[in-house]
Amino acid sequence: MRELEFLPEEYLRARFQRRIGFVRSWLLLAIGLAMVLYSFQMGTWVRDAQAELVALRGSGAAVAPDVAKVRMLRAEARVYNERLERLDALRPALAVTNILADVVQAVPDAVVLECLDVSTSPAECGESLTVRVQGLARSEEGVTAMVAGLDALPRFTQTILVESRLVDETPDGRRAFAIEAEVVPEAAPTAPSAKE
């Protein structure tokens, strides 16, 4: 059932407008209060961010010596790698000490070496190394053992007995000999990279 209203129409409208004004003022107050609280929160966030930025800038100063040390070590590594590259460029593909070690390994007990000569000779594809070994042996078997020893080593190819003769001063049959062999070239060693 419908409620009857005995108040005048203007009064009812005015009362309705007062209620709407009251609700509007409370909404405006709530929005204003929310804006004030949000601005306080934003201020807190800004202060925290500034404090964090100051802390990060301060930690950068603490790390700066380590960064400088790392940069210095990288520069030193670069210099050492350049030096190694220059040394590798100067280093021959085969070290004479390796050749000497292999020749000494092939010398039997009955042989004495007098001369070891390593020379380069032009070949079809670059230069090749030739080793000439001269020495004295107690007998022909010692010379044969020397040739066989050099021929058995993988570093030498085409081992040839160039000369074998009796030594005039000795009555016990000692022989002077000369042997030549070509050296198999090795791959040049590479320096480790410093990019690691």
Q: What is the pLDDT of residues 61-113, one digit of tens each?
A: 667 788 889 999 999 999 999 999 888 777 665 667 888 888 888 888 889 99
| The token pair that represents 74 in the structure block | 């990288």
Look up the pTM and report it.
0.47
Q: What is the pLDDT of residues 117-158, one digit of tens each?
A: 888 766 665 667 889 999 999 888 888 999 999 989 888 888
| The token pair that represents 144 in the structure block | 């044969």
In which element (H, E) is residue 49 found?
A: helix 9-90
Phi, psi for residue 168 in degrees, rounded to 5: -65, -35
Q: Which domains does the chain have, with CATH numbers?
A: 96-183 (3.30.980.50)
Phi, psi for residue 34 in degrees, rounded to 5: -65, -40
